[in-house]
Amino acid sequence: MNDMSSARADTMKYYSPLARMLSPYVAGEQPQGGWIKLNTNESPYPPSPRVIEAIRNAVGKDAAALRLYPDPDADALRDALSKRHGVNRGNIFISNGSDETLAFIFAAFFAGLDCVTPAVGYSFYPTYALLFGAKLRLIPMVDGLNADVGGLLNADAPIIIANPNAPTTIALSRETILDTREALAKRSQLLVVDEAYAPFYEDCAVANGCARYDNLLVVRTFSKAHALAGMRVGYAVGHSNLIDALCRVRDSFNSYPVDRIAQAAALAAAEDVETLSRIVAAVSEEKITSRQALLSLGFECAHSHTNFLFARHPRVKGRILFDELTSRRILVRRFDKPGIEDYLRITIGTPDEMKCVIQALTDILKETLS
């Protein structure tokens, strides 16, 4: 054993074999103040005023109720979401962020089993696969950064996919998703669609009415278009058999994962579709402007169906762009993964923030390419 590995063995000496072999997800940094923060796809706009009011009440006039555990099933929130998606209460599962739903999905449906996902996708999936002993296979992308639907189906295993995909920003059509589901149903295999970004492109979404299929489970979040990342609420929509499986896992882990304040906030957000539409419209408009500006600087940048852009410059390394932006206190995300290492994932901020980003990139390119 060399020095490095013996030091590592020492720090891990009390760890279980499971803890030793985990490969934790590295979340985007959350620096405090003084940054243009475009690294975790949060909303640049605040949540609905109704959300603020609901939180005030939860910690004000209703605060005495905080002595009690919250509703384990979050029924009021499930009722609001079931109306939105045209399903029943029993078709909705609420969790502490959608990451928790995703973790429970791996435990409930994939633990110890085969499953597949596009090679460029949400990097928490491989982490959950390790945690729960799922054999997750990564299917290479085609034509650049497009998911290979044929390849995924040929793998003959349940599929988990983000649609629109992250970090690529590219969406499969609703028809493609539904055809894929049908093909999987013939083999009794599950399709999980992570629709974290679907509010920015509802045309591709299958959440509404998805409960009629027993092999389609859709995951959504309040963190992005609802501007509630700080509250940590996510949910699944699907057939009641699938929802029951998620409840089995939850109740084997933590019966009350979503606190009273978060439930009140998410309920108010779910009921305020006007604010949701306003945020989506503002972000979408700024996204078009920012993409145009990036294209005129020579960046390659696909048309985005999310609240972020994924761009690379053919002549400047991603690492250099990332470091230069960071030194100007602009935080974006870069993944040190073969094939996408030169891309920057840039969350759409306010128009002022995006002007600063474009100006900074203009300056960096001038310095680097001169």
- Tokens 């609905």 appear where? 48
Could you tell me which stretch among 95-103, 275-283, 312-320, 333-341 binds ligand PMP (CB under 6 A)?
Answer: 95-103
Least separation, in Å, of the C-beta of 370 and ligand PMP?
36
Question: Judged by CB under 6 A, does residue 162 bind ligand PMP?
Answer: yes
First-to-last C-alpha distance (Å) of the chain: 48
Q: Which of 44, 47, 234, 238 binds ligand PMP (CB under 6 A)?
A: 234
Q: Which of 223, 290, 304, 347 binds ligand PMP (CB under 6 A)?
A: 223
Question: Judged by CB under 6 A, does residue 267 bind ligand PMP?
Answer: no
Given the complex with ligand PMP, which of 131 and 364 has the nearer CB atom? 131
Least separation, in Å, of the C-beta of 135 and ligand PMP?
21
Question: Judged by CB under 6 A, does residue 221 bind ligand PMP?
Answer: yes
Of residues 143, 135, 142, the one with CA closest to residue 160: 135
Given the complex with ligand PMP, which of 123 and 326 has the nearer CB atom? 123
Q: Please answer whether residues 219 and 235 qualify as being in contact, where contact means their C-beta atoms are separated by less than 8 angstroms.
A: yes
Q: Which of 122, 128, 213, 310 binds ligand PMP (CB under 6 A)?
A: 122
Least separation, in Å, of the C-beta of 297 and ligand PMP?
25
Given the complex with ligand PMP, which of 228 and 364 has the nearer CB atom? 228
The first and second tokens of residue 38, run together, are: 């475009």
Least separation, in Å, of the C-beta of 194 and ligand PMP?
5
Q: Which of 51, 78, 80, 99 binds ligand PMP (CB under 6 A)?
A: 99
Burial category of 350 from C-beta neighbours within 10 Å (exposed 0-12, middle 13-18, buried 19 and up):
middle
Omega of the bond leading into 44 within 30 degrees of 0 (cis): no
Least separation, in Å, of the C-beta of 40 and ligand PMP?
7
Of residues 280, 311, 297, the one with CA closest to residue 368: 297
Given the complex with ligand PMP, which of 81 and 293 has the nearer CB atom? 81
Least separation, in Å, of the C-beta of 122 and ligand PMP?
4
Binding residues with ligand PMP: total (CB under 6 A): 12
Given the complex with ligand PMP, which of 192 and 316 has the nearer CB atom? 192
Q: Which of 229, 261, 301, 361 binds ligand PMP (CB under 6 A)?
A: 229
Strands 191-194 and 159-162: parallel
Could you tell me which stretch among 96-104, 210-218, 242-250, 261-269 binds ligand PMP (CB under 6 A)?
Answer: 96-104
Least separation, in Å, of the C-beta of 82 and ligand PMP?
19
Least separation, in Å, of the C-beta of 227 and ligand PMP?
12
Least separation, in Å, of the C-beta of 222 and ligand PMP?
7
Q: Which of residues 163-202 bind ligand PMP (CB under 6 A)?
A: 166, 194, 196
Q: Which residues pair with 115 in a beta bridge?
A: 136
Q: Which residues pair with 93 in a beta bridge?
A: 236
Q: Please answer whether residues 82 and 91 qualify as being in contact, where contact means their C-beta atoms are separated by less than 8 angstroms.
A: yes
**Rounded Cα distance, 95 and 77, in Å:** 11
Given the complex with ligand PMP, which of 97 and 118 has the nearer CB atom? 97
Burial category of 279 from C-beta neighbours within 10 Å (exposed 0-12, middle 13-18, buried 19 and up):
buried
Given the complex with ligand PMP, which of 92 and 196 has the nearer CB atom? 196
Positions in the binding site for ligand PMP (CB under 6 A): 97-99, 122, 162, 166, 194, 196, 221, 223, 229, 234
